[in-house]
Amino acid sequence: MKAVVYEKYGPPKVLKLKSIEKPKPKEDEVLVKIYAATVTSGDVRLRSSDFPPFFWLPARLIFGLFKPKKRILGHELSGIVEEVGKNVTEFNVGDSVFGTTTMLNTGSYAEYICLPKKWKHGVIALKPENLSYHEAAALPIGAMTAMYLLEKANLKNGQNVLIYGASGSVGSYAVQFANQKGSIVTGVCSTSNFKMVKSLGAVSLINYKKDDYYKGNEKFDIIFDAVGKTSKAKAKKVLKTGGTFVSVKMLTKEKDEHLKLIKVMAEKGELKSFIDKSFKLDEIVKAHEYVDKGRKRGNVIINILQ
């Protein structure tokens, strides 16, 4: 099968398309033929080893001190179950699925992958029936991160919520979740993304290039840093008494119940994945170069099934 492999940390050109052996599922695994994957911020950080100074050494110890332990990147996917292990009853051959590869020894930049039916860090579920494989592949990481952090912030109906980085993957889902909850959403992004963020449910918009949100007069119940580029110190200046600051820099957890709820919301038309660009598997370097520019809106898709 074809897969994108990287043997060393560095720029997008370290990603190489190669032919490798097709995996075989173990007793508790399913073999998934991957239709679509994505380029997430996590993929970019792992490829370049661009970790914060305080986390650099722990990250290298986890993911590979001198070279990557996980040679195939790709943290989320959608596809069809092609084979099931003898202990698997949750899925059948032919099922359309979506999910993550979190903390597995391989990723979704490949034509096939073996996923456990259940494991500690990642999740897999039946794909929303009304979504394309591209749309479904873009859901798990961003949507679950947004859902987890908004639950942590105790999101309630009628609250005033600011999403910093509202046009990114996590931010675009956070805007939708907050809007669905009946919150009044302010999105912080560039002017070029105002129309997109407003379409997702934001009521007010702030251009971060011209205005500092924390210098305004409006107060918020929740400030959600969806890109890891603001701080609690700044947010506190415009947080209400008892208000909450959450950030993608915080530890999150993928939950089966979250992915299943996301599936239901997508099927009801309450949650949409915004797709910025799509690339073929052999265009993986171009895809990473694009995401490296920091201008990605929503999600970038890798089309694996040609």
Domain residue spans in the chain? 2-139+273-303, 142-247
Instruction: Please give the Cα distance from 267 to 286 (Å, whole number).
Output: 32
CATH code reported for the domain at 2-139+273-303: 3.90.180.10
pLDDT of residue 4: 98
Amino acid type, 278? S
Tokens read off for 174: 């956070």
In words, the CATH class of domain 142-247 is alpha beta
pLDDT of residue 239: 98
Nearest CA among 222, 199, 194 for reference residue 209: 194
pLDDT of residue 121: 95
pLDDT of residue 58: 65
CA end-to-end span of the chain: 13
pLDDT of residue 62: 67
Instruction: Please give the Cα distance from 288 to 38 (Å, whole number).
Output: 10
Tokens read off for 151: 């639950």
pLDDT of residue 294: 86
Would you call 176 helix, strand, or coil by DSSP?
helix
Per-residue pLDDT of the chain (306 residues; tens, 9 = 90+): 999 999 999 999 999 999 999 999 999 999 999 999 999 988 998 998 877 666 666 666 667 677 888 899 999 999 999 999 999 999 999 999 999 999 999 999 999 999 999 999 999 999 999 999 999 999 999 999 999 999 999 999 999 999 999 999 999 999 999 999 999 999 999 999 999 999 999 999 999 999 999 999 999 999 999 999 999 999 999 999 999 999 999 999 999 999 999 999 999 999 999 999 999 999 999 999 999 998 899 999 999 986
pLDDT of residue 54: 61
Sort residue 9 into left (φ over 0), alpha (ψ -120 to 50) or beta: beta
Nearest CA among 10, 12, 14, 34 for reference residue 106: 34
Query: What is the reported pTM?
Result: 0.95
